[in-house]
Amino acid sequence: MESGWDGNSVRISYNKYPTLPGVILGLLQSADNVVDEVSSSAAEAVFPALDIIRRAGPPEEHRKELREYIEGYLGSRIWHVREIAARTLCSFFLQTNWAAEITRLLASCRASVNRLHGVLLTARFLLERKVDLGGVDSLGKFFGVYRPPDMAPHDSSASLLWTQDY
């Protein structure tokens, strides 16, 4: 994973660019309706916004709305959109109870294979970042609550594939 915001680095000064959080939110909102269309150019409209957040950390202004939009992109039909959204969500979860956040996201996947894939990508990238930063203290607790009770057996088998790297 490329080096980006790790929760401790100097972040971009959103105070220096006061309109930037609104512009980022606007990009995510405007692309939300067209991101899953056949045209990949429509999907690429979200990449600049996601890239800024991924590299600079999420701005406090509009943080909740930004996170909701990004979490929505985890279910995109376009694989690359899911990947970039998953990488971006890592910057939201590094300083939180990440195991609970991943568990919450897993519970929201019920009927969507694309969303499940996006959430598993998020978990993988978050674990990679946590290992890089030396902070995987809650790893055992995460795997203790990893499989939601209503997840089908084939889903849990497939979801364990990404753990083989660890």
Residues 89-132: pLDDT tens digits? 998 987 778 888 999 999 998 889 999 999 999 999 988 887 77
CB 118 within 8 A of CB 82: yes
pLDDT at 144 over 80: no
pLDDT band at 161 (very low <50, low <70, confident <90, very high): very low
Tokens 């088998």 belong to residue:
157
Instruction: Identify the pLDDT of residue 127.
Output: 86
Distance CA 155, CA 151 (A): 6
Q: For the chain, first and last CA: distance in Å?
A: 15
pLDDT for the residue 86? 96
Q: How many residues does the chain have?
A: 166
Do 124 and 162 contact (CB within 8 A), yes or no?
Answer: yes
pTM over 0.85: no
Q: What is the pLDDT of residues 93-104, one digit of tens each?
A: 877 788 889 999
Looking at residue 3, its pLDDT comes to 45
The percent of residues above 90 in pLDDT, for the chain, comes to 28
Residue 51's nearest CA partner among 1, 97, 87 is: 87
Interatomic CA distance for residues 149 and 151, integer angstroms:
6
Q: How far apart are CA 159 and CA 157, in angstroms?
A: 5
Distance CA 70, CA 103 (A): 17
Tokens of 102: 């991943």
pLDDT digits (tens, 9 = 90+) for 13-33: 788 888 999 999 998 888 766
Mean pLDDT of 136-153: 52
Query: Mean pLDDT over all residues of the chain?
Result: 76
């990508």: which residue's tokens?
121
Mean of the pLDDT values across residues 56-67?
A: 89
Report residue 57 as tokens: 């950390």
